[in-house]
A and B are shown apart, each in its own frame.
Chain A
Amino acid sequence: AAKGAWCPACGVAALAPGSQRDALLALAKQSILAKLRLPARPSVPHPPSRGALLTALRRMRAQRSDTAAATPGMLRDPAQPGMGLQQYEILSFAESGSSASHRVHLHFRFSQEVAGSTEILQATLYLFWAAPGPGAQPVTVRLLQPDPAGANMTVASETRLEVQRSGWTTLDVGAAVRSLFGQETLRLTVELEVPEDWGSPLPTDHSDSHWPFVVVQAQARTPHRVHRR
């Protein structure tokens, strides 16, 4: 409304410039949190190391261009605006859990806000092997899920790999994450088992740029449509 006048639509007196700016800032916060389905702004995060983040973003970009080149048009590019439905790319770094000399548990957490309102398009686990030694070395990757009958974990799937040189490996974990998003505990647990003489399958330093991570591509679920007869 013009200065000193009333808003013709809502009848509210025009705000003083300072309080108008405060009202607009409050509206901006409310609008962004609502669109991200967040009840409030997240608490102060514990960001990953800069090296790990840059490496992960680089791997994601390389994976996306490989996929696009291999299946043109098949995989919807989440960065392509105008798709209508809101798309998400979620990058989750591993938290190390219980471990033995050559076996370790990795945990990947996901938030309810995204899990509760999206469908999974793709989920990929990225693992880095450093200097495995001569010849093909057997590695086993198990996806664990909570045992409904007790506190233990059961093996949902097991994959045996033959690692011949150092580098990244990717594993499709879409099915495991999809089943996870329907449960209470939104935590994906992965067990890595490597040959005894390797030592720990994880980098010794958490800030190492080869820290394992999972990338999930998700899309907002299509709203429930009511057809008028």
Chain B
Amino acid sequence: GVDCSADSRMCCRQEFFVDFKEIGWEDWIIQPEGYHMNYCAGLCPLHMAGVPGLAASFHTAVLNRIKAASAAAAVDSCCVPTQRRPLSLLYYDRDSNIVKTDIPDMIVDSCGCT
């Protein structure tokens, strides 16, 4: 996958960190200190379809050329997460019990084109 930079236009992972202290949640969420709510953004023209990140093989390159050649007749694909991992939380519930849970698929690690 590719991480977004200031001038990237193609599909990439945009990092976004939510600081629980900033949103006033640090009193009931014990750990962690924040949430990496990364998201996918950017263009997926046809020749990038099916490419999670950089083209890495001759086969991929040829396939891309074929797709580019037929671009006029097709539409773009979407920039979506290709790898995700759980968000582990330790928090107080409303009875002041301490709850530990792992919420699946909450953190985007990499993006690619469908």
Contact = CB atoms under 8 A, between A and B. Distances in A.
A161 interface: no
Nearest to B102: A81
Contacts of A47: 92, 96
Nearest to A92: B97
A110 B98 CA distance: 10
A41 B91 CA distance: 10
A111 B101 contact: no
Interface string A43-66: 111111000010000000000000
Interface of A: 2, 8, 24-25, 27-29, 31-32, 35-36, 38, 41-48, 53, 78-79, 81-82, 84, 86-93, 109-111, 113-114
Given A25-B18, A27-B37, A92 B95 contact: yes
Given A41-B25, A44-B27, A109-B97, 13 more contacts: A2-B9, A25-B18, A35-B103, A42-B28, A45-B92, A53-B98, A81-B85, A84-B104, A88-B101, A90-B100, A91-B99, A93-B97, A111-B97
A81 B94 CA distance: 26
A43 B89 CA distance: 17
Contact of A29 (B23, B39, B86): B23
Interface in B9-43: 9, 16, 18, 22-23, 25, 27-28, 35, 37, 39
A48 B86 CA distance: 27
Interface of B: 9, 16, 18, 22-23, 25, 27-28, 35, 37, 39, 76, 85-89, 91-104, 106
Contacts of A87: 101-102
Contact of B97 (A24, A28, A91): A91
Given A2-B9, A90-B98, A45 B103 contact: no
B91 to A, nearest CB: 8
Contact of A88 (B27, B86, B96, B100): B100
Contacts of A28: 18, 23, 35, 37
